Amino acid sequence: MTNWQHFVATFFNAAVMAKYLPDIIDGFCLTVGLAILVVISGIAAGLLLAVLRAFGVRPLNWLLIFVVDLFRALPPLVVIVLLYFGLPSLGFEPSAFGTTWASLSLVLMAFAEEIFWAGITAVPKGQWEAARSTGLSFLQTLGAVVLPQAIRLTVPPLTNRTIAITKGTALGSVIGLSEILSQASSGVSFSFNPSPLTLGAAAYLILFLPVVIAGRWIETRFAWKR
Amino acid sequence: MSNPILEAPILAAPILEARGLHKHFGPLHVLRGVDLAVAERELVFIIGPSGSGKSTFLRCLNRLEEPTAGSVVIDGIDLLDRRTDINHARQRIGMVFQSFNLYPHMTALGNVTLALRKVARRRRSEADEIGRAALARVGLADRAGHYPGQLSGGQQQRVAIARAIALEPRVMLFDEPTSALDPELVGSVLAVMRALRESGMTMVVVSHEMGFARAAADRVLFMDEGLVVEAGPPAQIFGAPQEARTRAFIGQIQRHSS
């Protein structure tokens, strides 16, 4: 066997791949579902926190900044492990899926809040003044004038951060969540062949390449008309 | 029985009255007791060196700045009264800014109709109609669908004026409306302001456009160090100022502009 044949038989073993493809597909579907949930809840919670912060209530903002900094500082894996093994001692037994979803949502929420907040503060003060001078309330100004501009500014950093955190779904494998990586590794263990990992990598590419491309498209789409 | 018609001094009552306005920014005492009464249809011009408090004073008139002390009554509404709905009151006070402050994510028409829909609660079709009429008044009927980035500075400022007049304000405040414009674009904005004045709009203008002040103002206020130093018709302020500080300021400006 030449080196090349050996390489193909190891990483692209058709028989092994065919055997474990259904498992990888299961993992893929679970990862997609989890990723969508994380993106929705994480970004929505982050936006909500940024809006709350805009009200400028001091004690509330201190609490908010503390929570945000906490989840920005903790590695996502630590959050997952802490929740999964810590919550049962409080009499609450979360599923692996629920834990991974909640943990990644909290982390995405924290980063999204910072990004949205940066966007809100980047909108010139004159925009607030112009809107308020025509009689719009604080919330109307925020909703109709400031947030649409802030969100456009935040699309590029938010897209990057969202992709980075959504890839953290692979961390769920640590607590036995049968997502792509976990399915691939158990395939490797049973077959003594790394081809399932190749399949897993392909599954991640299929999942995230469109997201990356969509992010690029959104960036150009959201540029001001000139 | 008294005769209400004879007694009511309706015409004499000012539409805008500021009394004893003070404003502190921390240790800075920016306004030190400014009074101004503006009659309906009057155009009052405010001039003064930078840092004199003229812009701060103007911004106190719609509470974009919160005065530290004093009173502001516009169209019978006490703006500083806690019970006053400031968002409602602001519909009666149009404001135009030095840097236009158009919403970049909305078309010219969108800019003009936003408050009509959100504050005046007009239906979209109705708001669009009013908005198009306001854009026509500033000579930009054909630019309704353009975004601010696609308009010149002068056009943007005219859209900003349309945005304010669409709400049918009783008073218009102009904060250095032409200072950010290239010289060749100033004329179009001044022309709109002149037309607005001819339509009977009450206006308070902070600006250095002396030519416009001379031609259009009823009264010119010279402010320095947070106080009104001198007030009078343009002929007096520009031709024969009574105060030494006014003379020095006018002299400086005329040297630079000639």
The residues on A that touch B, with CB distances below 8 Å, are: 124, 126-127, 129-137, 140, 144-145, 148-149, 152, 224-226
Confidence of residue B87 (pLDDT cuts 50, 70, 90): very high
Answer yes or no: do A133 and B87 touch at CB < 8 A.
no
pLDDT value at B256 more than 80: no
User: What rounded mean pLDDT belongs to chain B?
Assistant: 91
The predicted structure's pLDDT at residue B8: 40
Task: Using DSSP, state whether A74 is helix, strand or coil.
Answer: coil
Q: Which residues of A37-52 are buried (b: 16+ CB within 10 A; e: fewer)?
A: bbbebbbebbbebbbe
pLDDT value at B11 more than 80: no
In three-state form (DSSP H/G/I as H, E/B as E, the rest C), the secondary structure along B112-167 is HHHHHHHCCCCCHHHHHHHHHHHHHHCCCHHHCCCCHHHCCHHHHHHHHHHHHHCC
pLDDT value at B4 more than 50: no
Confidence of residue B96 (pLDDT cuts 50, 70, 90): very high
Task: Give me the residues of chain A with pLDDT under 50, please.
Answer: 226
The predicted structure's pLDDT at residue A157: 86
The predicted structure's pLDDT at residue B208: 85
Answer yes or no: do A135 and B94 touch at CB < 8 A.
no
Report the distance separating Cα A1 and Cα B228, nearest Å. 97
Q: What are phi and psi of B76, to 5 degrees?
A: 80, 0
The predicted structure's pLDDT at residue A217: 83
As a whole number, mean pLDDT of residues B10-35 equals 88
- Which carries the bigger pLDDT value, residue B257 or residue A108? A108
Report, in this order, helix, strand and coil percent for chain A, each rounded to 5.
85, 0, 15
- φ/ψ bin of A164: left (φ > 0), alpha (ψ from -120 to 50), beta (otherwise): alpha
Answer yes or no: do B115 and A135 touch at CB < 8 A.
yes
Per-window interface: B 48-67 vs A, CB < 8 A: 62, 64
pLDDT value at B74 more than 80: yes
Please indicate if any CB of chain A lies within 8 Å of the CB of B124. Answer: no
- Rounded to an integer, what is the distance from CA B140 to the centroid of its chain? 21
Please indicate if any CB of chain A lies within 8 Å of the CB of B41. Answer: no
Residue among B87, B91, B99 minimizing CB distance to A137: B87
pLDDT value at B174 more than 90: yes
User: Which tokens belong to A93?
Assistant: 């037994």
* pTM (two decimals): 0.85
Report the distance separating Cα B68 and Cα A94, nearest Å. 55
Report the complex ipTM.
Answer: 0.90
Which CATH superfamily does the domain covering A21-182+193-222 fall into?
MetI-like (1.10.3720.10)
Residue among B87, B101, B105 minimizing CB distance to A129: B101
Report the distance separating Cα B131 and Cα B156, nearest Å. 15
Report the distance separating Cα A207 and Cα A38, nearest Å. 14
Answer yes or no: do A133 and B93 touch at CB < 8 A.
yes
Query: In Å, how far is A52's CA from the nearest CA of chain B?
Result: 21
Residue among B99, B115, B149 minimizing CB distance to A224: B149
Please indicate if any CB of chain A lies within 8 Å of the CB of B236. Answer: no
Q: Which of A194, A205, A191, A202 is nearest to A8 (CA)?
A: A194
Confidence of residue B10 (pLDDT cuts 50, 70, 90): very low
The predicted structure's pLDDT at residue A223: 61
pLDDT value at B7 more than 50: no
